[in-house]
């Protein structure tokens, strides 16, 4: 009888693991439980679906449930929520919901992957349950937001089932609106709503947007958001969302202001879904996500965790970190699939590399650029920021790239980078050279000698990353 590999969660980590395990060991029985109807979808594309650049939710799906079942021979059970794990008995219990009736299923496993992902953080303030208050953590959330935008754009009379009278007609849902949170989702949704002619107010409790990036990057993005008429409310922690008397949101209240709005998008981050693991006695790490070893195995034998519910190891500090990122989930899921198929594979570390687009600006960050964070990790950070041309000065097109590099004063070890440029001028792609340097533990002196490509349509002889490395090297010497 073949072994059984059970996966809890049908998105990036879960389906990467299931597919790789089945491909490497066709005799392995692979069972996947997913409580929703969607699997293997690109949640990062949801803001662009809401904006209207992507026309259907189905376009965000990489592989359909039918393809997993029929072409990959995976026993995928959508509409099944796993409610408990018993590591001693090596079973999971799932509840299948159909037409209002539920049925419990007890599934034995030889090896198990927990890939329960992350959920949107809802701040502990009044009014978050009002009509017109949204999060963007799932395909169904994206569908609701797209319907909201479509009602205002098309002017069609619309009554959404079970959501009351809010925004029934065009004049009721044309704006202004609010986005709470100045991170990735907040910035992307501000663009999506402003592009649909909403008056957008973005609230950020700290003094700048994109706090994981350098100040230079944050300021460049903030300036561009203002140019595109997004009203930024910085140092403005939201205290309450007020009720219009009919159950719909009518205003965002901070310590210093009250801003009337007709819709609120909460983009205040995500947290790992760990309740299932906790209830099974599986250890969590210091970040609050599920702790694992290098092979993604948890404290329970033959139980693995990967993706947005699990910790990873930071390549700069060597310590556990939490990185809710698509590539990390796919990479670690694939590694688990290889491991359970008989070829033990480490998931690899992460640098926290991320990118964001804000209208006509792109930004990227990797490693550690915040000096306080670097000091807490035991480094003595030195940072330099430069601005350089993105292409040869005589080339008829081009812009500038602003690069912030951080390195350790004593060792010269590269710690991180933050880059920003006009959209299409290469801030994001240029960050990849820094990621390679971080992963290899290179110094800024090593980076200065990297043989990066040059041609006038693409960059200058000295790429902006090399210019930043030269400047930082000079400071350290």
Cα 35 from chain centroid? 21
d(CA 16, CA 24): 12
Single out the residue of 32, 77, 79, 60 nearest to residue 139, CA to CA.
60
Say if CB 39 and CB 63 are below 8 A apart.
yes
**Other CB atoms within 10 Å distance of the CB of residue 21:** 28
d(CA 121, CA 268): 6
DSSP letter at 414? E
Residue 364 phi, psi (nearest 5): -145, 155
Tokens 């029934």 -> residue? 168
Residue 122 phi, psi (nearest 5): -105, 115
Strand ranges in 326-458 using DSSP code E only, listed in sequence order: 354-358, 361-367, 381-389, 400-408, 414-422
Q: Which residues pair with 290 in a beta bridge?
A: 284, 310
Say if CB 234 and CB 218 are below 8 A apart.
no
Tokens 């986005």 -> residue? 179
Q: What does the block give as tokens for 254?
A: 């901070």
Would you call 44 a catalytic residue per the annotation? yes
Q: What's the Cα-to-Cα distance from 183 to each of 199, 252, 294, 363, rounded to whole Å?
A: 19, 18, 29, 12
Single out the residue of 436, 444, 390 nearest to residue 415, CA to CA.
444
Which string of b and e fits 162-200 if b means at least 16 CB within 10 Å? Answer: ebeebbeeeeebbbbbbbbbbbbbbbbbbbbbbbbebbb
Cis omega before residue 55 (within 30°)? Answer: no
CA neighbours closer than 13 Å in the CB half-sphere of residue 337: 28
Vertex 254: Cα angle to 242 and 210 (nearest 5): 115
Say if CB 141 and CB 133 are below 8 A apart.
no
Query: Out of 44, 167, 173, 309, which one is annotated catalytic?
Result: 44
In terms of DSSP H, where are the helices of 341-454? 371-376, 427-439, 444-448
Tokens 């009002």 -> residue? 130
Which run of H or of E encompasses 151?
A: helix 139-154
Tokens 């140092």 -> residue? 235
Active-site positions read 44
């Amino acid at each position: 009888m073949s072994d059984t590999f059970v996966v809890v969660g049908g998105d990036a980590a879960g389906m990467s693991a299931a597919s790789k395990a089945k491909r490497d060991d066709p005799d392995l029985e692979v069972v996947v439980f997913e409580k929703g109807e969607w699997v293997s979808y690109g949640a990062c594309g949801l803001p662009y679906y809401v904006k209207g650049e992507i026309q259907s939710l189905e376009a965000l799906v990489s592989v359909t449930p039918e393809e997993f079942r029929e072409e990959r021979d995976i026993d995928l059970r959508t509409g099944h929520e796993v409610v408990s794990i018993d590591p001693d008995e090596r079973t999971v219990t799932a509840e299948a919901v159909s037409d209002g009736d539920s049925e419990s299923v007890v599934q034995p496993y030889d090896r198990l992957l927990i890939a329960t992902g992350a959920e949107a953080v809802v701040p502990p303030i009044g009014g978050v349950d009002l009509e017109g208050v949204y999060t963007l953590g799932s395909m169904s959330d994206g569908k609701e937001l797209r319907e909201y935008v479509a009602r205002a754009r098309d002017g069609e009379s619309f009554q959404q089932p079970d959501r009351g009278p809010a925004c029934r007609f065009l004049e009721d849902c044309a704006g202004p609106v609010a986005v709470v949170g100045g991170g990735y989702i907040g910035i992307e949704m501000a663009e999506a709503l402003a592009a649909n002619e909403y008056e957008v107010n973005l609230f950020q409790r700290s003094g700048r947007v994109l706090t994981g990036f350098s100040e230079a990057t944050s300021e460049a993005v903030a300036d561009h958001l203002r140019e595109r008429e997004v009203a930024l409310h910085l140092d403005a922690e939201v205290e309450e969302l007020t009720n219009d008397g009919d159950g719909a949101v009518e205003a965002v209240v901070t310590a210093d202001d009250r801003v009337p709005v007709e819709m609120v998008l909460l983009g205040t981050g995500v947290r790992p879904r760990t309740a299932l693991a906790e209830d099974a006695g599986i250890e969590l790490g210091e970040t609050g996500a599920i702790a694992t070893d290098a092979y993604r195995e948890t404290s329970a034998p033959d139980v693995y965790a990967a993706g947005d519910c699990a910790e990873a190891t930071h390549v700069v500090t060597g310590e556990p970190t939490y990185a809710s990122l698509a590539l990390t989930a796919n990479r670690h899921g694939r590694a688990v699939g290889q491991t359970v198929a008989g070829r033990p594979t480490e998931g690899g570390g992460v640098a926290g590399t991320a990118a964001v687009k804000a209208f006509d600006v792109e930004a990227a960050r990797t490693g550690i650029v915040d000096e306080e964070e670097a000091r807490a990790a035991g480094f003595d950070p030195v940072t330099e920021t430069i601005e350089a041309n993105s292409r040869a000065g005589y080339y008829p097109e081009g812009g500038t790239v602003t690069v912030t590099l951080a390195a350790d004063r004593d060792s010269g070890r590269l710690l991180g980078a933050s880059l920003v440029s006009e959209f299409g001028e290469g801030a994001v792609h240029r960050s990849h050279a820094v990621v390679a340097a971080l992963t290899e533990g290179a110094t800024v002196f090593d980076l200065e000698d990297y043989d990066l490509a040059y041609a006038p349509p693409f960059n200058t002889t000295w790429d902006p990353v090399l210019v930043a490395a030269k400047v930082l090297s000079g400071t350290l010497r």
